[in-house]
């Protein structure tokens, strides 16, 4: 009886945890997502992990050592951040941070809550233009706007702890099972953010929203295509970590091309308004 009641409670929590995180826009992304883990908890975990990353890089003298590179990344990032309210107004109030770490890795990420990191290998090895860098960072910001990290953690949590443990967790139970589940969830932390790859569906959403975001910020959307072409040129053996488990292929580029007629007017309007 108790178990049935708990599972019923979890079912309600499950249903209420299914929602879309961003407003409908030109990109057409409006999929319902499983978001059981509290957003505040995910943001707290991510902030702690990001701070640890900054401290480690600072001790290794690899954090923000190239000021011109840092200023460039922050300028582009700030332009993109200025347009996030088109997808979710609350994101404009996030505590955004933007840093660059000296590394040979071709990588970039935006953690939940707006913690951006660009690794210098992305800039140095791909020789990215400002428009291409806008495409990369826009793609990563899109992951954060859609809360893909929170979604992956919620899915993993259900798989690891099961329905009964989740029911106890959401009922704020005080049993050993509930306490153990809560403790293990905290221990998982943001490790899941890096350990669990984005799904193909999440990558597609980030491609679409990132393309629209960069266009709204005044970066040529065509650069997204040249960026992925450069990524592909790295070769499968050197596939950038940025691509997760889904390298940019012909289908990905075709999807970007298909969306181009919709986002191009946004870029043109921004360009005309800025007199560029």
State the catalytic residue, choosing from 97, 101, 132, 140. Answer: 140
Which of 12-16, 38-42, 153-157 bottoms out in mean pLDDT, i.e. has the lowest?
12-16
**pTM for the predicted model, two decimal places:** 0.82
For the chain, give the mean pLDDT: 82
DSSP structural state of residue 127: T
pLDDT higher than 60, residue 6: no
For 144, the token pair is 């954060």
- pLDDT interval class at 37 (50, 70, 90): confident
Domain ranges across the chain: 2-35+149-192, 39-147+196-274
pLDDT higher than 70, residue 83: yes
What is the C-alpha separation between 12 and 134, in angstroms, rounded? 40
31-35, 93-97, 252-256, range with greatest mean pLDDT: 93-97
What is the C-alpha separation between 156 and 141, in angstroms, rounded? 22
pLDDT of residue 152: 86
Share of the chain above pLDDT 70, in %: 74
pLDDT of residue 112: 93
Stretch 3-22: mean pLDDT: 55
pLDDT, tens digit, 9 for 90 and up, residues 187-239: 555 455 555 667 888 999 999 999 999 999 999 999 999 998 888 887 654 55
Stretch 92-97: mean pLDDT: 97
Closest CA to 208 of 139, 134, 149: 139
Q: Is 151 a catalytic residue?
A: no
User: Exposure of 20 by Cβ count < 10 A (0-12 exposed, 13-18 middle, 19+ buried)?
Assistant: middle
For 99, the token pair is 């840093």
The residue assigned the tokens 């960072």 is: 137
What is the C-alpha separation between 144 and 219, in angstroms, rounded? 19
pLDDT of residue 234: 77
pLDDT higher than 90, residue 66: yes
Query: Backbone phi, then psi, for 102, in 5-degree steps?
Result: -70, 120
pLDDT higher than 80, residue 16: no
pLDDT, tens digit, 9 for 90 and up, residues 235-265: 654 555 455 545 446 788 899 999 999 999 9
What is the C-alpha separation between 22 and 87, in angstroms, rounded? 5
Distance of CA 239 to the CA centre of its chain: 19
- Straight-line distance from the first to the last Cα atom of the chain, in angstroms, rounded to the nearest whole number: 68
Q: Which of 199-220 are b and which e, b meaning 16 or more Cβ less than 10 Å from the residue's Cβ?
A: beebbbbbbbbbbbbbbbbbbb
The answer to whether 230 touches 128, Cβ cutoff 8 Å, is yes
Q: Could you count the other beta carbons within 10 Å of the beta carbon of residue 32?
A: 9
What is the C-alpha separation between 140 and 193, in angstroms, rounded? 13
Per DSSP bridges, beta strands 115-119 and 108-111 are: antiparallel
Angstrom CA distances, 206 to 49, 69, 93, 142, 182, stand at 22, 24, 21, 5, 30
- pLDDT interval class at 10 (50, 70, 90): very low
Q: For the chain, state the CA radius of gyration.
A: 20
């Amino acid at each position: 009886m108790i178990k049935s009641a708990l599972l019923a409670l979890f079912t309600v929590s499950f249903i209420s945890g299914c929602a879309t995180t961003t407003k409908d826009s030109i990109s057409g992304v409006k999929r319902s997502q499983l978001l059981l883990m509290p957003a505040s908890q995910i943001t707290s975990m991510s902030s702690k992990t990001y701070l640890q990353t900054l401290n480690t890089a600072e001790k290794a003298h690899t954090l923000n050592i190239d000021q011109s590179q840092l200023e460039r990344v922050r300028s582009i990032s700030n332009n993109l951040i200025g347009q996030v309210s088109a997808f979710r107004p609350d994101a404009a109030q996030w505590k955004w941070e933007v840093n660059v770490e000296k590394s040979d890795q071709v990588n970039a990420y935006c953690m939940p809550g707006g913690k951006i990191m660009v690794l210098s290998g992305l800039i140095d090895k791909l020789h990215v233009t400002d428009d291409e860098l806008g495409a990369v960072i826009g793609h990563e910001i899109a992951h954060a706007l859609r809360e893909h990290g929170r979604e992956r953690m919620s899915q993993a949590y259900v798989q690891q702890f099961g329905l009964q443990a989740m029911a106890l967790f959401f009922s704020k139970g005080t049993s050993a099972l509930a306490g153990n589940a809560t403790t293990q969830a905290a221990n998982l932390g943001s490790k899941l953010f890096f350990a669990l790859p984005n799904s193909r569906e999440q990558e597609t959403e980030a491609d679409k929203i990132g393309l629209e975001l960069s266009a709204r910020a005044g970066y040529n959307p065509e650069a997204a295509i040249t960026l992925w072409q450069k990524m592909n040129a790295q070769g499968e053996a050197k596939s950038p970590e940025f691509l997760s488990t889904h390298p940019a292929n012909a289908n990905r580029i075709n999807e970007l091309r298909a969306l181009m007629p919709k986002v191009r007017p946004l870029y043109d309007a921004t360009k005309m308004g800025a007199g560029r």
